[in-house]
Amino acid sequence: MKAWAAIALIITWLGVAPVRAVTPDNTLVIAISLNGIISFDPAESFETISNSCLDALYQGLVKSDRTQPTALAADLALSWHEGRDPHSLIFTLDPNAVFASGNPVLADDVVYSLRRAIKLNKTPVFILNELGWRAENIDEQVRKIDEHQLELRWSGNLGSERVLYLLSSPVARVVDSNVLLQHNQADDFGNAWLKTHSAGSGSYQIRHYLPQQALLLESNPYASRPPRLAQVILKDVTDPGVRRLLLLQGDVDIAYDLGADPFSALENQPGVNVNVAEGAKIYYLGFNTQDSSAAFLGHPAFWQAARWLVDYTGIAHRLLKHQYQVQQNFLPRGFEAAARDKPFHLDVEKAKRILAQAGIAAGSRFTLLVANQPPYVEVAQALQDSFAQADIRIDVQVVVESELWTRMRSGRFQAVLTYWGPDYIDPNSNASAFAYNLPGGPNTLAARLGWVTPELSQLTRKASAERDPQLRRELYLQLQQAIRENSPFVVMLQGKRLVAVRNHVLNVRQSIANSMLYFDEIEKEALK
């Protein structure tokens, strides 16, 4: 009966039932595009919406502190200390932690989860690979001591603090090993099942998921942090205009990604407020250096010219209404060692000279891949206009977000306009994405652009391992300068987090550590 009730509730909010004036008191209803979701498996998820939901579904050993996101806080681990040597940590688990299934969270589950992530070898595994963990050694590196204690070991020069930051990432979340063993198919560690289900100890669990229609989260009765609301419905609404209309009608409580003009228009709308917070997403233009049909995309002179063909200020201030800020470095403001340099601006004549000196033909053309959500199409059109002034033609190809990620990861694109959000609040999260790529290495952003960077990769590892704060800062400033001045990445913007909320929704909080609201904190004031 519960399953049928869940499905009926989803169908109601998909608009099959008659229009309702208010949402249920115990349910948070959100209008958002779900087309970027590929998987809810922590070992595989690497997209904004699914990763943000993992925060409500799972716990890890440690987590980012909600009130001070650059610091770490205990999660499943009550405490930890150095193990047999400086390259090991012993964790003591909370004996009261329980999965949504009712199973206790034990050391076996943590060991299983970390070994599973490494052996599945999905997109986010490169984060844990930094610990020297590979399929052939992970069984020795992660071991159970007793029911509530385990030891983790790693290779290399990483200090324990850096290890903890890596362990705060979504890929290190702990899954219920007993549940996944029941759903194992062809030795996939339950991966196929976990794409659309959950097996965690977070405040919520997935009750039902209809891809590209709706996601229903239901409270975990055993949660150590019980949520204020019993259910959360994320309703897939691809059109930003429809999302706005549903919010104004009271059919949803919250609406995401409305676009610059609609957000501005809502600022004085009765019954609605726009919650604004600093964001950590970096928006960039990336060129596939290995595309044979547009070889100029791999030319450093083209990368340099492209930097002078972006109207950074016009895009951030006029087009996007100050809801984004100009950013030309891969570390966002708010991060340790974030550079503030912004040397580039729109200078068409300078770009023309660079292109001519490099022999890049006038009329050169490339296809730019973008997602079908704000602000990508608007920004792509602005780039079309400014690049055309230097006789460089851009064909904009608009796709759903999940297709963009699939094509980008397989190298089936010429250029892409998209974002990067850090997996954990440490400079290494972004540095290892933008500056690290060695043959046979992980599928980082640099790897997706076909840009091999042996010297920068070595510098990235050196920065990650450096324990002196000032030296570490200097290394990250060097890395940012290198990417800023000579790479196939043109970093353009840093976004703020804007979300439109009905006034009866209380305790709305965001932080740079998560791309969505903290669902478990939200309350609703009953409407008369």
- Give the H or E element holding residue 129: helix 125-129
Distance CA 260, CA 242 (A): 15
For range 328-333, the mean pLDDT? 98
When pLDDT is cut at 50, 70 and 90, the band that residue 267 belongs to is: confident
Kindly report the number of other CB atoms within 10 A of residue 302's CB atom. Answer: 23
- Percentage of the chain beyond pLDDT 70 is 96
Contact predicate 217/27, CB 8 Å: no
Is the pLDDT confidence value at 4 over 60?
no
Tell me what the pLDDT averaged over the chain comes to: 94
What tens digit of pLDDT does each residue of 28-55 get?
999 999 999 999 999 999 999 999 999 9
Is the pLDDT confidence value at 412 over 90?
yes
Q: 140 is written with which tokens? A: 């020795």
Is the pLDDT confidence value at 310 over 60?
yes
366's torsion region: left (phi>0), alpha (psi -120 to 50) or beta? beta
What tens digit of pLDDT does each residue of 450-504 get?
999 999 999 999 999 999 999 999 999 999 999 999 999 999 999 999 999 999 9
Is the pLDDT confidence value at 121 over 80?
yes
Domains and CATH numbers, the chain: 2-34+204-274+497-524 (3.40.190.10), 62-180 (3.90.76.10), 278-495 (3.10.105.10)
Is the pLDDT confidence value at 281 over 90?
yes
Distance CA 528, CA 525 (A): 9
| Bridge partners for 325 per DSSP | 494
| Bridge partners for 104 per DSSP | 98
DSSP 3-state assignment of 114?
Answer: helix
When pLDDT is cut at 50, 70 and 90, the band that residue 73 belongs to is: very high
Q: Can you tell me which residue has the tokens 């030319």?
A: 299
Distance CA 59, CA 169 (A): 10
Least confident of 47-51, 144-148, 174-178, 304-308: 47-51
pLDDT at 1: 42
pLDDT at 18: 44
Task: Name the phi and psi angles at 511, rounded to 5.
Answer: -155, 170
Is the pLDDT confidence value at 270 over 80?
yes
Biggest CA-to-CA distance, the chain: 71
Report which of residues 12 and 205 the model is more confident about: 205
Which residues are CB-contacts of 396 (< 8 A; sequence separation ≥ 6)? 367, 368, 370, 377, 380, 381, 384
Distance CA 163, CA 323 (A): 34
Examine residue 375 and say whether the peptide bond preceding it is cis (omega within 30 degrees of 0). yes
Closest C-alpha among 175, 184, 236, 201 to residue 29: 236
Is the pLDDT confidence value at 13 over 60?
no
Q: Can you tell me which residue has the tokens 């913007």?
A: 493
Is the pLDDT confidence value at 15 over 70?
no
- Percentage of the chain beyond pLDDT 90 is 89
Packing angle between helix 160-167 and helix 427-434, nearest 10 degrees?
Answer: 80
